[in-house]
Every structure is written in structure tokens, then in C-alpha cells.
Chain A
Amino acid sequence: MSEVHISERTIDTTAEAAALSGLANAGALVTFSGICRRDEDGSPIAALFLEHYPGMAEAEIERHVEEAKTRWPLLGVRVVHRTGRITPGETIVFVAAASSHREAAFAAAEFLMDYLKTRAPFWKKVERADGSADHWVEAHDKDDAAAARWRKPKDAAE
């Protein structure tokens, strides 16, 4: 099973987690689900529309999965991202990391999410519940700051 999967299909988080929890020596499994909120900036939303750059999005995530494997002793990793129209309560992204112990699994899952948010080419558009014009979500500086803390000293100058 490929570690990175992007599609318009609903994400079955239970099945995704089960695929990793059975790994031999997996004493820790950390999973993260990013869920479509019911409102954005105080206004109810009808849906989010997720656009991506096919090919590059997979490549960027795979590159960071490989990076995570060099940093932590991981037994399994899975990153699933949905595209297309997603309604409140549905899962947008799912990240799972399995390891023998919890420290590596927690760190790797957080590292993957932080990089995915700032480096993987996906864009969100908000469809408001009141029918007003759709708008694109703006990037947050706090996401850049979250990704920056994982940089190693040698590339801190970049």
C-alpha cells in the first residue's frame, strides 16, 4: 500500500488506522484527522473546495515522509488528503505514524502535518452557507512558524 494517497473519496479513518496498528512491534500509533469546520471566521460554511496540483502534491508529501523516516524510527506512515467538495464534519486530511514508542510517532505526525500545510500544493476555497461569494482561504503566518521549528541548524539560513 502506498504511503500517500490523494483523491476525492471519503476518508475512512478507522480503516486507515487499522492498517498500521497491526504492524509487528508497533507499540505506538498516532493519528491526526483534519476536519472541515462548521464556520470560518465566524460565518457558517456550506462546504470547502480543495484544489491541488496533481503529481507535485504527492511528490512533496512523499519527500517529507522520507525525511520523517530518516529522523524517527518509524514502522509505518500513511498520509491521505481529500480534494474536491468537502462538507462540515468530513475529514480533509489524515496522517498516521506508527513506531515502537510514542515519542517518535507523535513527533513524526506533527512534522508531517506542519510541512503538509506549508509545502504541499493544496488550496482551500470557502463556500459560505449564506450564499455570498466564494473566497479562497489565505495562508497563515503561524503555519509557516510551525513548519520552521523543524528545520535543522544547517538549513536555518534558508
Chain B
Amino acid sequence: MMKVLYFAWLRERIGKAEEEIDPPASVVTASDLIEWLRGRGEEYALAFNNPKIVRVAFDRTHVQPGAKIGGAREIAFFPPMTGG
């Protein structure tokens, strides 16, 4: 089991801020997880319709899409940042 967080328009499109998920062993990288999530329903397909622009963090650290999930417990998906 892992905790997944969604922010900004990803959160709005999916309709929730966080959830616990249990993906299959074939899900190894952040990109794999996005592909798996896309298959979970229309709201996920809409949120991840352009996976290239989605940013990922493992345990509150930025990672590249090809990064292996390994033992990460908290995975966050969000749009490019617009603070400041």
C-alpha cells in the first residue's frame, strides 16, 4: 500500500486530494504508476491526459518520471509549480 496525493487541477479532475492504493508488482516507476492510474476511470484519464507535464515527488522530493518507486511511501502528482 502507498499513499498518493494530488494537487491543483489534478486534484480537481480526480475529485480527491489523496488515497491509499495498492498497484500490481508490474508498476515499478513513476511513469508506470501514471499509466496504471489512467486505467482506473475517466477522471484519472482526464487528469493524466498529458502525462509529460505532470510532476512527481516521492516522499516530498522531486523525481523524474523514470524514477523507481522502491520503498517510497508518499507519492505526489502535481502540475508545474506557479508559486511566488
The CA-CA distance from A3 to B20 in the complex, in Å, is 33
A119 to B78, CA, bound (A): 12
Interface residues of B in 37-84 (CB under 8 A from A): 57, 60-62, 76, 78-84
**Among B5, B7, B9, B83, residue most surrounded by chain A Cβ atoms (within 10 Å):** B83
A59 to chain B, nearest CB (A): 6
How many Å from the CB of B49 to the closest CB on chain A? 15
Binds B, one of A13-21, A98-106, A131-139: A131-139
Count chain B residues whose beta carbon lies closer than 8 angstroms to a beta carbon of A.
Answer: 16
> Is the beta-carbon distance between B8 and A51 smaller than 8 angstroms?
yes
Chain B residue nearest to A52 in the complex (CB) = B83
**A contacts, CB < 8 Å to B:** 34, 50-53, 55-57, 59-60, 81, 92-93, 113, 116-125, 136-139
Shortest 5 CB-CB distances between A and B: which pairs?
Answer: A122-B83, A139-B80, A123-B8, A56-B60, A117-B84
